[in-house]
Amino acid sequence: MIPSYFVQLEHLPLTPNGKIDRKALPAPEGSASGGSDYIAPRTPLEAKLAEIWQEVLGPVTIGVKDNFFALGGHSMRATMLVSKLHKALNVEYPLRDVFRCATIESMAEAIAHMEKQEHISIPLLPERSYYPLSSVQKRLYIQQQMEGAELSYNMSGMMLLTGELDRRRFEEALRGLITRHEILRTGFEMVNGEPMQRIYSEVNFILEYRQASEEETEELAESFVRVFDLGQPPLLRVGLIEWSRERHILMFDIHHIVSDGVSTGILVEELLRLYSGEKLPPLRIQYKDYASWQLSETQGERMKRQEAYWLNALKGELQPLELPTDFARPAVRGYEGDVLNFFVDKQTSEGLQRIAEDAGSTIYMVLLAAYTILLHKYSGQEDIIVGTPVSGRTHTDMQPLIGMFVNTLAIRNYPAGDKMFFSYLDEIKETMLGAFANQDYPFEELVDKVQVTRDLSRHPLFDTMFVMETKEEQVNRFGDLTVEPYIQTQTAAKFDLTLEIALVEEGMNALFEYRTKLFTRNMIEHFAEDLLEIMSGIIKQPYILLKDLSLSGVSEQGEDLVEAIDFVF
């Protein structure tokens, strides 16, 4: 608990409302992972690697013996690192080797012996009336037509803005953002029986503004989220609720077919910069160029190799997850949902992080292992598929774009009771490294290829998701404004059960999103309590057998759970 080093300042930088401005704190001098052991880059290659690492990890001093993951690296950042290495050094550095050679010293040695592989940029398309959709856009376009799914792919969020706001300048910044990104001026139409995207030179955009009290905000937020007509861009709406002259609520509602989680961060950051009067560099490509490149012959051979990986990983009989439920499963999958928030304390969070470091894995892999053990305890099954999202931005040209790039991976896990936890974690690590190395293969195409019985009451391939929010830099300033998240009520659930975990300084914020047609809140509370109990168990005994991990006592493992399943089904 004692810091490795201290930085002395004359005074701490503060935000306008008197809080410590953490982003304005200077980076520590010396090694970020241990002060006195700092060794500066010694060769041009090591210096270039340090520069690339800083682009990925942020403003931190990096020594050649510092570990990428100890500095805050994780799977998504590792994927970003690999793409930047390819562009800057013309080498196809395997993602697996980021774990094996996790220091600049060892990475430089490995790269020195690699053959050069020229980096090829995504080509620009000539201007046309219509452009093809990416694979994931096609899936979303079709799913949007399903009954009950009309609002399921709306991405909405709210932020509290504190400080004086120039509304006219703010709206001009939003219009500049729509001009900059073609995807925000894109509509979707059927052309000769095929869904296509059409880019408009101009769209009618109006900032929705009104004055209201804090008590009226939730009702206004509910009415703000509405069904989009996919043929009428922009598929983005922005609202502003004025509580007082220096307090506003900013509301976003954008359709998933034109955006994803990473895109939301880009949107907010660029809106900040445009509002501040900054000139943004032009974009080399637009989303339509990526969509066409994804479907091109140049990607065909690569996709065949990735397809073979996934078909092998999902071969044989795939059993649906049979969790005990409070209600009988409806004949058709619905989207009514609710959320249960819970917290993982700092002591537990740090214990899990130590396990990740000892195993040479990531905190994501440890958490996925814990979650699949929970599912095993409740279902009695030893072959469980869990979905997980990946950013899908494996080419550097995609990094600055707003658009729908995220892909879904179907991760097959085998949490057998006679396995030792550390051995099971090593399995998870190997599975995830293989999955990340083949993450570009579109999930929607995989569903068509895998032999699985279609069931309208279930999501194809899996019924549960695991999502981990990582410690990326969060925008907290709009010029003179401070920006804070504003929590809103959520009612849609795309899956039976989704576990989301976000790393914070105090530990981990976690939530279960669940379908209310299947589970009561009481059942989900048991899930949360038992997950915490499993986390505690593996911290105390990392070499414990999975069958010896106990639950909280509110619900019991083994035969009682199997009986519960038999009773429900």
pLDDT tens digits along 97-135: 888 888 999 999 999 989 888 888 999 999 999 999 999
Token pair for 567: 């009773």
pLDDT tens profile 502-526: 988 899 999 999 999 999 999 999 9
pTM check: above 0.85: no
| 32 has a pLDDT exceeding 70 | no
Does pLDDT of 197 surpass 90? Answer: yes
Query: Could you report the per-residue pLDDT of 246-261, keeping only the tens digit for each?
Result: 999 999 999 999 999 8
What confidence score (pLDDT) does residue 265 get? 87
Three-state SS for 513?
A: strand
Mean pLDDT for all residues in the chain: 88
Start-to-end C-alpha separation, the chain: 49
Quote the pLDDT of residue 35: 44
pLDDT attached to residue 385:
97
Secondary element (H or E) of residue 250 = strand 247-255
Helix, strand, coil % (nearest 5) of the chain? Answer: 40, 20, 40
363-385: pLDDT as tens digits: 999 999 999 999 999 999 999 99
Whether the predicted pLDDT of 139 surpasses 60: yes
Tell me what percent of the residues of the chain surpass a pLDDT of 90. 61
Residue 91 has pLDDT above 80, yes or no: yes
Lowest mean pLDDT among 70-74, 354-358, 537-541: 70-74
The mean pLDDT of 151-157, rounded to a whole number, is 86
User: CB–CB of 250/161 below 8 Å?
Assistant: yes
Least confident window among 428-432, 441-445, 533-537, 552-556: 552-556
Q: Could you tell me the pLDDT band of residue 566, with boundaries at 50, 70 and 90?
A: very low
Residue 391 is predicted with a pLDDT of 87
Residues 6 or more apart whose Cβ sits within 8 Å of residue 149: 143, 335
| Confidence category of residue 202, pLDDT binned at 50, 70, 90 | very high
Rounded-to-integer distance, Cα 488 and Cα 249, Å: 11
232-246, 424-438, 443-457: range with lowest mean pLDDT? 443-457
The answer on pLDDT for 2 being more than 70 is: no
Of the ranges 62-66, 199-203, 320-324, 448-452, which one carries the lowest mean pLDDT score? 448-452
Return the pLDDT at 412. 97
User: 542 pLDDT exceeds 50?
Assistant: yes
pLDDT score, position 270: 93
* pLDDT at position 558: 43
Strand 507-515 relative to strand 497-504: parallel, antiparallel, unpaired? antiparallel
The percentage of residues in the chain with a pLDDT greater than 70, rounded to a whole number, is 89
Distance CA 419, CA 421 (A): 6
Q: What is the pLDDT of residue 51?
A: 92
Query: Which pLDDT score is estimated for 476?
Result: 67
Top pLDDT among 90 and 28 is at 90
As a whole number, mean pLDDT of residues 464-469 equals 93
Mean pLDDT of 21-45: 68
Task: Give me 430's structure tokens.
Answer: 């190997």
CB 299 within 8 A of CB 293: yes
- The per-residue pLDDT for 143 is 82
**pLDDT score, position 12:** 80
| Residue 565 pLDDT exceeds 90 | no
